[in-house]
Amino acid sequence: MDPVQEGRVVIVGSGLIGCSWAMLFASGGFQVKLYDIVQEQVTKALEKIGKELKELGKTGMLKGTLTADKQLSLISGCTDLKAAVEGAIYLQECTPENLELKKKIFGQLDLIVSNDVILGSSTSCLMPSKLFTGLKHVKQCIVAHPVNPPYYVPLVELVPHPETEPSTVEKTYALMKKIGQSPVRLTKEIDGFALNRLQYAIISEAWRLVGDGVISSDDLDLVMSDGLGMRYAFIGPLETMHLNAEGMLNYCDRYREGMIRVLKTFGPIPDFAGKTEQKINQAMCEKTPADPEHLNARRHWRDECLARLAKLKKEIKSD
Ligand code: NAI
């Protein structure tokens, strides 16, 4: 059985992502303080985590080797930020995606944290230079961007501020590995980080193809889910090139001209509005009406698929 770890982790913000991080750190044997501004929210979050851990235990999907009860016992709620951060080794901020709010929170933390704790932010798209510049503890700050749902999709993008200490990156990397996540290091900040830059490139061409009437919305999604996505769950685009010819150099020799020719035909950035928006919205709503009940049912199905895929990937891990 995993020994319970020495260090304590603090989660600031107990919403969707905060709860997931709490469960992930507990699965790795860490004590977790789940902080939020209102006690009611903390209570609700702990109840939700308790239910989810039990369910995961029953279905055999629980991460780590500690029992669901043991993992739950490692997580406690808190509404006193100073008490929460005392003695912590790592803090993961998970408050709403609002620059002013996050800056205020990091400003408060800057006044009360020690020189040892690492301050990570879950932000999806706020640059480290916007979040951390001017903080006394900037060396200890890093963006650690998870992917939804983090319990099943292990990637975490680590994005440093220009003044982040290399040891902060390395320690965060090691911590993420320890809890079973799959961290990647960006050497410098860039808008959209890596994941959203790739995602937006795909969305952009998908939008143009459907907007131009080349393919239906449903078929476009199948190109990913039954085509590219099948292999991308195991190997990325670069390794795909390497394997789809006699190595990378041979791939470039064979396909360089074709790739450049096709890439030159890509249109301008779509406005994601107007007729194409209506057309794609209609197709999506026919499949899943955009009300909470249908959306939640479909999300639940997606999470189940991802959970099974995560299990399969673990079984056949070969790196
Ligand atoms: P959420 O709205 O579910 O949760 C935010 C939580 O922060 C709430 O519990 C709220 O009470 C709490 N909060 C508000 N002000 C606070 C304060 N001053 N101090 C402490 N807690 C406070 O948001 P969600 O979806 O969990 O997102 C959190 C962060 O994670 C955002 O930066 C978001 O961009 C990022 N993220 C979200 C993903 C998603 O798919 N939802 C994926 C990856 C990252």
Residue type, 290: A
Q: Please tell me the residue having the least CA distance from ligand 1 atom 21.
A: 13
Q: Please tell me the residue having the least CA distance from ligand 1 atom 38.
A: 148
Buried b (16+ CB within 10 A) or exposed e, 133-151: eebebbbbbbbbbbbebbb
CA of 16 to the centre of ligand 1 (A): 7
* Residue 175: its H or E element: helix 166-178
Q: Provide the CATH number for the domain formed by 195-287 in this structure.
A: 1.10.1040.10
* Residue 42: its H or E element: helix 39-59
Choosing among 3.40.50.720, 2.60.40.420, 3.40.50.360, 3.30.70.100, the CATH entry for 8-185 is 3.40.50.720
Contact 157, 143 (CB under 8 A): yes
CB burial of residue 207 (10 Å; 0-12, 13-18, 19+):
buried
What is the pLDDT at residue 318? 53
Q: Are strands 141-146 and 31-35 parallel, antiparallel or unpaired?
A: unpaired
Instruction: In the chain, list all ranges with CATH 1.10.1040.10.
Output: 195-287
Contact 32, 8 (CB under 8 A): yes
Q: Average pLDDT per run of 10 along the chain, which is 319 residues long?
A: 78 98 97 97 98 93 94 97 95 98 98 97 97 98 97 97 98 97 97 98 98 98 97 96 98 98 97 98 98 97 93 80
**Is the C-beta atom of 204 inside 6 A of ligand 1?**
no
CA of 144 to the centre of ligand 1 (A): 13
Those residues with Cβ within 8 angstroms of residue 240's Cβ, 6 or more apart along the chain or in another chain: 231, 232
CA of 13 to the centre of ligand 1 (A): 6
Closest to 180 in 3D by CA, of 71, 77, 106, 299: 71
Cα gap 205→198, rounded to integer Å: 11
ipTM: 0.98
Among 95, 104, 181, say which to mutate for ligand 1: greatest number of ligand atoms within 8 Å of CB. Answer: 95
Q: For residue 146, which atom of ligand 1 is closest to its CA?
A: 43
CA distances from 294 to 16, 278, 299, 304 (A): 19, 19, 9, 15
CA of 231 to the centre of ligand 1 (A): 32
Let me know how long the chain is.
Answer: 319
CA of 93 to the centre of ligand 1 (A): 8
Instruction: In the chain, list all ranges with CATH 3.40.50.720.
Output: 8-185
Those residues with Cβ within 8 angstroms of residue 287's Cβ, 6 or more apart along the chain or in another chain: 218
